[in-house]
Amino acid sequence: MNILDKITLDKRKEVELRKSLIPVSQLEYSVLFERQTVSLSNKLRNSKSGIIAEHKRRSPSKSIINNGLNVQDVAIGYENAGVCGMSVLTDGKYFGGSLDDLLTARASCKLPLLRKEFIIDEYQILEAKAYGADVILLIAAILTREEIKQFSEFAKSLNLDVLLEVHNEEELQKSIMPSLDMLGVNNRNLKTFEVSLQTSKSLSTLIPNDFVKVSESGISNIDAIKELQPFGYQGFLIGENFMKTDNPGASATEFIKTLEG
C-alpha cells in the first residue's frame, strides 16, 4: 500500500466522522457559502509569474517543514508578494493542516484560495465552499473517471474552480473533460517520491489548450519555471520553497521580483 492509498483510507473514515458531526445544511448556512468566488484560472491566464504559493506545515516525504508560522502572516505575506493564489493544506494527519487554516487565510487576504485536500466525497466540496475556498483539487490517482466528472460538475455548480492533478499519461487520458479549469502535473512520483520536471514536459503536449496548465512539486528556483514556460505552463505551485524560510511572504516577494525582472 503506497502513501496515497494509506491517506485515502484514513480520509474515508475521517469524512464519515465529519459528516456525522456537521450536517450538510449547517455548511450551506455558513456565512461564506454565499460569497462571490475569485477564479484562479483567470488570474493565472493573465499573470506573468503564475505563482500559487502554499501553506504547508509538514508532509509525508519531508516530515516537518515549518511549524512556527501562523497562517494569517503567511497569507498576508503571499498577497503582498503578488502571488496569483494560495494553496492551503487542510489534511491534519499527514500534513498538519485544518479547515481552520483555510478560514484564517480567507479572513486575512483576498487571494483565490485552493483547498488542498484528498477529495473523495461531495461533502468535502461543500466544506471547501463553506470555509472560503475558491478552488478545489481533485487527484486523478484516487478517483475514477465517473467520480472526477461528478465532483468537478458539483464544484462548478458552486462556482468553484477545479484543478485536477495527474502524475502520468494514463491518469491524464481518463480525466480530460469540460468541467475542469486547470490541469496540474505533479512532478513527484508517489511510489518513490522522486521529483522530475520531465513529467511536466512530456505531458504538456497531451493537455488541450482549453485548460490552464499547472506544474506542481519540485519547483524550487526561477530556472525551473523558465524551463517549463515554453511548454505552455502558466501556473506553478510552490510549497516547501517558501515555507521552509522564516518569512514565506518575503521569500515569495524576492522570487517573483527576480522572475518578472
Whether the CB-CB separation of 187 and 165 falls below 8 Å is answered with: no
Q: Are the beta carbons of 4 and 142 closer than 8 angstroms?
A: yes
The set of long-range contacts for 199-206, using a CB threshold of 8 Å and a minimum separation of 24, is 199/167, 199/168, 200/228, 200/231, 200/233, 201/228, 201/231, 202/169, 203/166, 203/168, 203/169, 203/172, 204/231, 204/232, 204/233, 205/231, 206/169, 206/172, 206/173
Residue 97 near residue 88, CB atoms below 8 Å: yes
Q: Using CA atoms, how far apart are residues 19 and 48, in angstroms rounded to an integer?
A: 41
DSSP class of 58 = E
Instruction: Give the active site residues.
Output: 54, 56, 116, 165, 186, 216-217
| Cα 66 from chain centre | 18
Q: How many CA atoms lie within 13 A of 167 on its CB side?
A: 14
